[in-house]
Amino acid sequence: MENKIVEFSIIIPAHNSSKWIKKALDSVFQQEYAPMEVFVIDDNSDDNLEDQIRDFDVQYFKVNFKNAAASRNHVKDLVKGNYIAFLDADDIWCKDHLSRVAELLAKNEFPSGYINYFDHLDLEGNRIERNCPWKFEGDFALMSDCDYASFYISYKYFVGMSACVVSTERFKQIGGFDVEFQKRHDVEMWWRLIHGQMCILDKHKSSLYRKNVPGSVSQNSHLTEFYKLKGLLKNSALYVKCKAYQTNLKKAAVTAMNHALLYGDLELVKSVRSLGAFSWGIKERLMFNIIGKIPPAYKLLYKVLR
Domain ranges of the chain: 8-210, 221-305
Please give the pLDDT value at position 302. 81
Pairing of the two strands 37-43 and 59-63: parallel
Render each residue's pLDDT in the chain as its tens digit; 306 residues. 455 799 999 999 999 999 999 999 999 999 999 999 999 999 999 999 999 999 999 999 999 999 999 999 999 999 999 999 999 999 999 999 999 999 999 999 999 999 999 999 998 889 999 999 999 999 999 999 999 999 999 987 777 899 999 999 999 999 999 999 989 999 999 999 999 999 999 999 999 999 876 654 445 889 999 999 999 999 999 999 999 999 999 999 999 999 999 999 999 999 999 999 999 999 999 889 888 888 888 888 888 876
Give the pLDDT of residue 293.
85
DSSP H/E element including 210: strand 198-210
> What is the CB neighbour count within 10 angstroms for residue 250?
16
284 vs 166, 269, 279, CA distance in Å?
Answer: 37, 14, 9
Nearest-angstrom CA–CA distance, 65 and 43:
6
The tally of CA atoms less than 13 A away on the side-chain side of residue 125 is 10
Nearest-angstrom CA–CA distance, 198 and 111: 5
Return left, alpha or beta for 63; rule: phi > 0 is left, psi -120 to 50 is alpha, else beta: beta
Cα 190 from Cα 160, distance rounded (Å):
10
What residue type is assigned to position 224 of the chain? Answer: T
pLDDT at 229: 97
Q: Tell me the C-alpha to C-alpha distance, in Å, between residue 101 and each of 36, 114, 144, 148, 211.
A: 14, 7, 18, 18, 24
As a whole number of angstroms, the distance between CA 225 and CA 210 comes to 21
pLDDT score of 217: 42
Q: Which CATH number does 8-210 carry?
A: 3.90.550.10
Bridging pattern class, strands 8-14 and 37-43:
parallel
